[in-house]
Structure 1
């Protein structure tokens, strides 16, 4: 049985052509939640100290094609009046990435401060899917906002740390970008950390031959490759980076090397959202930070991992008058110094990603090239959903996958 319509709010004189008037339902919140459990996405999150409940949403149609429009029906319930004219925000994420689906921010009619108390409000709006859609699902993050402030979500388990309710995912007919895997061989002798990457020292560890642009739309314009290996106490990592204009003005540990050129590894040893980022510059200046509870949450800049990086450069650093060839690095990361890090074995499985920030001075301006082993699908590297899989083997495997 569908929802019972109690009153259709029609305020044609006060609405724009895009925003449909809301529908007030006779159904109880429990009836709506039961229905959404069967044909939609039930959430039941309270906001503003219990003043408002977000019950969930439906999408029509499920499985839409790239370029299509989808209609989203949100269900709200006001336990008490809101003091201000909050608006609804709707953010669509693709494999954890923002920027693919236009925001569905809108002012419902009537506005939330005019919602009738103790009645369910069904709010309708339209989202347009992009022509290129690298996913088979779109995740919605939903809430209420006024200016730059979001109405707090009462239960921390229901939101993402920024008062965006994790509403759920609906299916689309895009083409997901698969997550890569790498099979790292075990080393009996640690490589010499001089940045020269002698093949004999790396036990035949296969190269990751291609870094892709951050949005996943092709290869980086500058060649970057990487390889990994391990022993029970260390993760070993090597990068080779083509670079016609090597830049590294930072000189001290934890200087913001990411503002210029850097090679980076992000590591989530347990796959729980507690992770670290480790960076190195062409001058072997290191930057690291730890995060707990999800992307960019609870950043600890005082965190110091135990890792060493050797660098070899073919060119001159910070000299824009000549043309450089590139630089390479070799890393040894003490596993025990990482949150959640334990002795490595063939049963270990880590979530990681590898990144490069490159900058070249061309025509009097800085041209930035950001690339990754597993593209985060946005400019922000902190997309944990796009971390690849790192597996540990006793011997060299047949290939990276």
Structure 2
């Protein structure tokens, strides 16, 4: 299974990287995640009153950040001392699924996906997928696919709870459905493993994104199948996300959204603004992509910042003090925040050091 997952996901990354080096997608989206003290039943229905007080995300958008998806998707989050909770509503006139084995390639069905990078360094992050049969796939990636790394398919979210509710009839083409909804509870005990802290991130933010994969379908003998073209090849899937990636590739964690874990209980409003120093992160990843392109073309790293197209400037024109160091193992770029004076660093494998 691990070999299959690796081939499939690397294939998706290659498609994404060939499409574009990235659209100008602007600032990532953000969400306030409120606390709950209400007992939660994970059944996909979100019957608890507290869900009505949770922040509802913006409508999902096409992964590149331009097109409006055919069907609407929204997500909410809550947290308590034991779990991080997710609830998503997916509009869909034909709800279907046929994959029943855990840790199979779930996105071969229409699915809902969660991506979590607790410490925001783009390494050691989690991916979770589920379909309308409540079949799940959870895995840990030590690095994005643009860098050599391990896909830990045997990793599991111990204590995971998930549920699906279908507004319609599963796998029945004779009627028109309204859609399906999913509810997920992930234990902090597992999620904190790569966060660098044993504490629940109350008052802090994590980088999180959500994706929905949708396929055109054919009906054969009354059953749903992914649609093929005249040559027998599957048509491309649709990728709809919460925070746009700019490329057809979910595995660029620097583009994911910001989930702020408010100390306030749901119903007691709070606000969150992405810290100004995050602009340094975005700038350093532009330099990182420049270096990758420079190496691809010249078979060596740029030795000077002047060899790269990105300028040491923020979007508003603020100048940033930047230092590039090239060494035997690769390179690193360090930046000093003009806002706080803090130093930030990115290295040749894309790992970010706040």
- Same fold per TM (> 0.5)? yes
Higher RCO structure, 1 or 2 (CA under 8 Å, sep 6+): 2
1:380: which partner in 2?
A: 249
Question: Deviation string for 1:15-61 (max 9, x for gaps)?
Answer: xxxxxxxxxxxxxxxxxxxxxxxxxxxxxxxxxxxxxxxxxxxxxxx
2:140: which partner in 1?
A: 290
User: With structure 2 as the length reference, what TM-score do the two structures score?
Assistant: 0.61
Are the equivalent residues in 1 in contact too, given 2:262–2:270 (CA < 8 A)? no
Name the CA shift for 1:320/1:359 in 2 (closer, same or farther; >3 Å).
Answer: farther
State the Cα distance separating 1:295 from its structure 2 match: 4.0
- Correspondences of 1:2-401 after superposition (within 5 Å): 99-100=19-20, 134-135=23-24, 176-198=25-47, 200-202=49-51, 204-272=53-121, 273-295=123-145, 297-306=149-158, 307-338=160-191, 339-341=193-195, 342-361=198-217, 366=227, 368-395=237-264, 396=266, 397=269
Question: Deviation string for 1:270-292 (max 9, x for gaps)?
Answer: 11221010111111111011011
Question: Deviation string for 1:320-362 (max 9, x for gaps)?
Answer: 3432211001110012113315431423321110111122426
Question: Deviation string for 1:127-170 (max 9, x for gaps)?
Answer: xxxxxx743xxxxxxxxxxxxxxxxxxxxxxxxxxxxxxxxxxx
Q: Distance in 2 between matches of 1:100 and 1:393?
A: 36
Moved more, 258-267 or 342-351: 342-351
2:316: which partner in 1?
A: none
Q: Distance in 2 between matches of 1:234 and 1:226?
A: 17
Are the equivalent residues in 1 in contact too, given 2:28–2:244 (CA < 8 A)? no
Partner SS for 1:294: coil
Partner SS for 2:53: coil
Partner SS for 2:247: coil
Q: Distance in 2 between matches of 1:204 and 1:97?
A: 39
State the Cα distance separating 1:200 from its structure 2 match: 0.6
Rg comparison, structure with higher value:
1
- Where does structure 2 lack aligned partners over 5 or more consecutive residues? 1-15, 221-225, 228-234, 274-354
Q: Distance in 1 between matches of 2:61 and 2:168?
A: 24
Moved more, 379-388 or 199-208: 199-208
Are the equivalent residues in 2 in contact too, given 1:244–1:360 (CA < 8 A)? no
Are the equivalent residues in 1 in contact too, given 2:163–2:183 (CA < 8 A)? yes
Q: Distance in 2 between matches of 1:244 and 1:360?
A: 12
Q: Distance in 1 between matches of 2:74 and 2:23?
A: 24
Are the equivalent residues in 2 in contact too, given 1:211–1:371 (CA < 8 A)? yes
State the Cα distance separating 1:225 from its structure 2 match: 0.5
State the Cα distance separating 1:239 from its structure 2 match: 0.4
How many residues get paired? 235
Q: Distance in 1 between matches of 2:124 and 2:67?
A: 30
Q: Distance in 2 between matches of 1:228 and 1:240?
A: 12
Are the equivalent residues in 1 in contact too, given 2:120–2:254 (CA < 8 A)? no
Are the equivalent residues in 2 in contact too, given 1:208–1:400 (CA < 8 A)? no
Partner SS for 2:49: helix
Q: Distance in 2 between matches of 1:299 and 1:222?
A: 31
